[in-house]
Amino acid sequence: MDADEPTRRATDHRDAVGRLDWEQRRELLHRSDRKGLAHLAGHLAALAITGTLIALEAPGWPVLLPIHGILLVFLFCLQHEAVHKTPFRSAWLNAAAGWGAGLVNLLPPVWFHHFHMDHHRYTHDPARDPELARPLPRSRAGLAWLIAGGPYWTSQVRTLLVNAAGRNRDGFVPPAARAPVVWEARSFLAVYAAAAGVSIYAGSAALLWLWVLPALLGQPFLRVYLLAEHTGCPHVANMLENTRTTFTNRLVRFIAWNMPYHVEHHVYPAVPFHRLPAFHAVLRDRLTVTADGYRAATRATTGAILRGEA
C-alpha cells in the first residue's frame, strides 16, 4: 500500500484529513515568511512593470490596462489567504497584507474575515453560506452584469458606508467585532478621501489610470475565477463534492496564489498557498468536481446558472 492509499479510500473531507499522518500534517501546515514574501514580491513586481508602462504611456499602453487590473484585483487571493493567516508565518505580515489588498478591492479585512469564516463553516449551504445570500441571476443580462462586477462594487460601497455608520447587522459579525468593523470602514473611507483629495489638489489622474479603471476592467476575470470555485457543485456538506478544483497553467496559479486548488483549500484551510500543490498530490484521486481550465469551468458555471441549477 502506498502512502496515499488511505487518503484515496477516504469517504469525505474529514476522513481525508483524519487519515493524514503526523509528518504529512507537519509538512503541509508549514508557513513561511520567505515563501510568502517571494511570491508577493513577484506579484508586486508585475504590477510595478505594468503600472510604470501605463504611467509613461509606452507604445500600446492601453492594452496593459486590463492586465494591470487583473494583477490588482487578484490581490483578493492574497487577502483571502491573509484572513486564514497562512501566507506568512508572521502575524503582522498577514495583517498588513489583508489591509493592503483590502484597500485595493474595497474589502475591509475584519468584516471579510467573519464573512469568509462563515463561508467555510457552511460551504455552499443555500440557507447559511453568506456567499449565497444574494440569489444568482437567471437571465443572460443579469449574468453579464454579475460577471462585469456591478453587484460586487455596489455591494462593497454599501457595506463600507453601512459599517462606517455603525449600522452593521450582518449575522456573521459577532458583537465583539462590531467596533473593529466600524473603525476599519471609517479608516478605509478616510484613505479613499485623502487619496482623492491629493489627486484633485495635484491635478493628477494617476489614480484613475492606475487603479480605478484597471480594477473595473480586471474585475470580470476575478468574477469568472470565483464562480468556478463552487457554482454548479452539489449543495452538500462534503468539501470533496461542493467545491471545484480547476486545472490551469502556472501563470494563473501564480496570480491566484494557488487557489485554483480550491477543493484542497476547503478540505484543509490551514494549508498555506505554497503547500497546496503538495496537498493536491495527496488528494487528487479523491477529487469529484474538477474543470480542465477556466474556459471549461465557465461553461459549467454559466450553464448551471442559466438553467437554475446553481
Amino acid residing at 164: A
**pLDDT tens track for 79-129:** 999 999 999 999 999 999 999 999 999 999 999 999 999 999 999 999 999
**pLDDT at residue 257 is higher than 70:** yes
Beta bridge partners of 247: 292
**pLDDT at residue 226 is higher than 80:** yes
Please report the pLDDT score of residue 244 as a whole number: 98
Say what percent of the chain tops pLDDT 90: 93
Please report the pLDDT score of residue 212 as a whole number: 98
Compare 292 and 13 and report the one with higher pLDDT. Answer: 292
CA distance linking residue 39 with residue 58, whole number of Å:
27
**pLDDT tens track for 120-145:** 999 999 999 999 999 999 999 999 99
Catalogue the E-assigned strands of 138-248.
245-247
Please report the pLDDT score of residue 19 as a whole number: 87
Domain ranges of the chain: 5-306
**pLDDT tens track for 30-60:** 999 999 999 999 999 999 999 999 999 999 9
**pLDDT at residue 2 is higher than 90:** no
Please report the pLDDT score of residue 9 as a whole number: 42
**pLDDT at residue 5 is higher than 90:** no
Q: In the numeric block, which cell numbers belong to residue 79?
A: 487577502
Please report the pLDDT score of residue 1 as a whole number: 31
Q: How far is CA 159 from CA 74, 89, 216, in A?
A: 20, 30, 18
**pLDDT tens track for 228-254:** 999 999 999 999 999 999 999 999 999
Q: In the numeric block, which cell numbers belong to residue 204?
A: 493628477
**pLDDT at residue 66 is higher than 50:** yes
DSSP-derived secondary structure for 27-91: HHT---HHHHHHHHHHHHHHHHHHHHHHHTT-TTHHHHHHHHHHHHHTHHHHHHHHHTT-S-SSH
**Residue 28 in contact with residue 271, Cβ under 8 Å?**
yes
How many residues make up the chain in this entry?
A: 310
- pTM of this structure: 0.93
Please report the pLDDT score of residue 286 as a whole number: 92
Over the chain, what is the mean pLDDT? 95
Amino acid residing at 12: D
Sign of CA dihedral 265, 268, 269, 275: negative
**pLDDT at residue 289 is higher than 50:** yes
Q: In the numeric block, which cell numbers belong to residue 126?
A: 443555500
